[in-house]
């Protein structure tokens, strides 16, 4: 981020200088006082359990010399330049929008019920082969994280890939004007957040907020096989609409693909071109993820070789499709999050990779935030697992429904939590087993890996 002076901050945020000097300038922004360095602006956020104003002194001790504040009746460190604003969050978003619009570069926004983080990482891996690319890191995909990503945008960047998550209707709308994308991607519309949003139609409407700011020159790049996303057409909107998919005619289409232990081989048709790409991870869901990255590579005038190098360079984020071997045991750790579509997709991967292993073990835990759909969705996952796994360990309250759906298609164990799942696995794991670990993040199934390592020694 190029520097912004206190004078500019006052103008952008419509703030009031409470104390300090206008001569200072900042080169980055943080809402965590522990991450403040010299020349950083500290933004104290007032949350449900913590008030960032309580940490202004710590921010100052760490080298911060400028902060925002929405509480005047505070004692501030004498060294700190303090700018009063009516809302620190609103002011931070205004500064993030200012920094984003300093640079006339393509910005791609990505959302979806499942696969959006993998897709974001894939798109960035591909585009990075030709362009200096900024991407969302970690889980900075919400109202607080998106501005912090935009603050990392600098004059050397040539393109940006921004992930946008949501929990409620209106969540994406809160940040879409800051991001102001040229291309908006929707990977799919599933059942994530159905407990809060009540219907899949509402989930669709919440995802569709990512298209709100597209101009006539902008583009919606959407999954043309998704029943909800098929509703989005050029005729109804001012922006361009392009589709990717496997079924029927799309702008970017996977005509054929094979999924093996080695990964994917995909024949992709785009305009008059037919080219073959490979990807190191199996599963039909990854075909869709690759189509987004391949299509965006095409749209940005990349060659087949450049795109392929990007696919080869992809590394999954933590606990997402992390496939590794420990001794004679293969592990598919996809414990970061879960929904019905993602559960089925990873069970398909287990079945594919498990062809060369003696036993396929699925450790499946609760999918949270499913509301009234929860029991039926978990029961269906269990049914789907019948011919995918030889052994099932169901974890958590709704894990009982997964076990019930499995109906003793193989060995089945029902346990209360991640630690119990690990202890159960340790008793039964054998060399040449392949193990899938999948549940919502709140279940903490990544802890099972420690038991795998102990059992595999």
User: Is the distance from CB of 69 to CB of 88 less than 8 angstroms?
Assistant: yes
User: Is the distance from CB of 95 to CB of 178 less than 8 angstroms?
Assistant: no
Q: Which of 382, 377, 413 is nearest to 192 (CA)?
A: 377
Range 29-36 average pLDDT: 97
| pLDDT tens-digit map of 328-362 | 999 999 998 899 999 999 999 999 999 999 999 99
Assign domain 103-313 to a CATH class.
alpha beta
| pLDDT tens-digit map of 3-23 | 999 999 999 999 999 999 999
| pLDDT tens-digit map of 254-294 | 999 999 989 999 999 999 899 999 999 999 999 999 999 99
Range 125-145 average pLDDT: 96
DSSP H or E segment with residue 289: helix 284-299
DSSP secondary structure, 304-367, as one string: HHHHHHHHHH--PPTTSSEEEEETTEEEEE--S---HHHHHHHHHHHHHHGGGSSEEEEEEE--
Q: How far apart are CA 416 and CA 411, in angstroms?
A: 17
Looking up tokens 């869709």 gives 288
Burial class (CB in 10 A: 0-12, 13-18, 19+), 143: middle
Show binding-site residues.
Answer: 112-118
Cα end-to-end span (Å), the chain? 48
User: Is the distance from CB of 444 to CB of 370 less than 8 angstroms?
Assistant: no
Give percent of the chain above pLDDT 90. 91
Label residue 455 by pLDDT band (50, 70, 90). Answer: low
According to the model, what pLDDT value does residue 138 have? 87
Which range among 209-213, 346-350, 368-372 shows the weakest confidence by mean pLDDT?
368-372
Whole-Å CA distances, 374 to 8, 114, 202, 368, 388: 50, 17, 17, 8, 21
Burial class (CB in 10 A: 0-12, 13-18, 19+), 272: exposed
What CATH number is given for 322-455 in this structure? Answer: 3.90.190.20
According to the model, what pLDDT value does residue 261 have? 87
CB count in 10 Å sphere of residue 12: 16
58 strand-pairing partners: none
Q: How far apart are CA 246 and CA 244, in angstroms?
A: 7
Helix-, strand-, coil-residue percentages of the chain, each rounded to 5? 40, 25, 40
Largest CA distance in the chain: 72
| pLDDT tens-digit map of 66-80 | 999 999 999 999 999
Q: Outline which parts of the chain fall under CATH 3.90.190.20.
A: 322-455
Average pLDDT of every residue of the chain: 95
Q: How many Cα atoms are found within 13 Å in the side-chain-facing hemisphere of 373?
A: 19
Range 124-149 average pLDDT: 96
DSSP H or E segment with residue 93: helix 88-100
Q: Outline which parts of the chain fall under CATH 3.40.1190.10.
A: 103-313
Neighbouring residues of 34: CB distance < 8 A, sequence distance ≥ 6: 58, 62
Report the CATH fold assignment for 4-92. 3.40.1390
For residue 209, pLDDT over 80 is answered with: yes
* Token pair in block for residue 450: 């420690």
Q: How far apart are CA 386 and CA 409, in angstroms?
A: 5
According to the model, what pLDDT value does residue 237 have? 82
For residue 81, pLDDT over 80 is answered with: yes
Q: How far apart are CA 69 and CA 56, in angstroms?
A: 9
| pLDDT tens-digit map of 424-451 | 999 999 999 999 999 999 999 999 998 8
DSSP secondary structure, 231-264, as one string: G--GGG-SSEEEEEESSS--SEEEEEEEEETTEE
According to the model, what pLDDT value does residue 456 have? 45
Q: How far apart are CA 198 and CA 212, in angstroms?
A: 22
Show binding-site residues for ATP.
Answer: 112-118
pTM of the model: 0.93
């Amino acid at each position: 981020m190029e520097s912004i002076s206190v004078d500019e901050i006052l103008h952008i945020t419509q703030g009031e200088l409470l104390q300090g000097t206008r001569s200072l300038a900042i080169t980055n922004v943080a809402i965590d006082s522990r991450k403040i360095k010299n020349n950083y602006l500290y933004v104290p956020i007032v949350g449900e359990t913590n008030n960032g104003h309580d940490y202004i002194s710590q921010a100052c001790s760490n080298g911060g010399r400028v902060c925002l504040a929405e509480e005047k009746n505070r004692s501030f460190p004498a060294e700190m330049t303090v700018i009063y604003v009516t809302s620190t969050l609103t002011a931070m978003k205004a500064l993030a929008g200012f920094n984003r619009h300093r640079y006339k570069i393509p910005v791609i926004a990505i959302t979806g019920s499942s696969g959006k983080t993998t897709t974001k990482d894939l798109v960035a891996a591909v585009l990075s082969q030709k362009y200096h690319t900024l991407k969302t890191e970690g889980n900075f995909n919400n109202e607080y994280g998106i501005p912090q990503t935009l603050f990392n945008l600098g004059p050397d960047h040539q393109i940006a890939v921004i992930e946008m998550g949501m929990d409620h209707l209106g969540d994406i709308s809160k940040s879409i004007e800051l991001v102001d994308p040229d291309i908006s991607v929707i990977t799919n519309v599933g059942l994530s957040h159905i407990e809060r949003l009540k219907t899949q139609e509402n989930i669709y409407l919440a995802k569709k907020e990512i298209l709100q700011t597209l101009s006539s020159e902008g583009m919606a790049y959407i999954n043309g096989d998704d029943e909800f996303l098929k509703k989005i057409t050029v005729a109804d909107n001012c922006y361009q609409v392009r589709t990717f998919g496997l079924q029927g005619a799309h702008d970017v289409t996977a005509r054929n693909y094979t999924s093996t232990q080695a990964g994917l081989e995909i024949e992709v048709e785009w305009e008059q071109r037919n080219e073959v790409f490979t990807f190191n991870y199996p599963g039909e869901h990854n075909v869709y993820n690759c189509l987004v990255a391949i299509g965006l590579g095409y749209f940005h005038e990349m060659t087949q070789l450049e795109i392929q190098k990007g696919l080869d360079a992809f590394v999954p984020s933590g606990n997402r499709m992390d496939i590794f071997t420990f001794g004679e045991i293969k592990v598919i750790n996809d414990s970061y999050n879960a929904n019905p579509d993602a559960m089925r997709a990873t069970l398909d991967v287990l079945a594919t990779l498990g062809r060369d292993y003696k036993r396929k073990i699925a450790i499946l835990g609760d999918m949270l935030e499913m509301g009234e759909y929860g029991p039926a969705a978990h029961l269906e996952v269990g049914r789907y697992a019948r011919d995918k796994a030889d052994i099932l360990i169901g974890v958590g309250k709704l894990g009982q429904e997964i076990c019930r759906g499995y109906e003793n298609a193989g060995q089945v164990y029902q346990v209360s939590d991640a630690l119990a799942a690990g202890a159960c696995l340790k008793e039964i794991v054998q060399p040449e087993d392949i193990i899938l670990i999948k549940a919502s993040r709140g279940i903490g199934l990544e802890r099972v890996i420690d038991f795998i390592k102990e059992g595999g020694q």
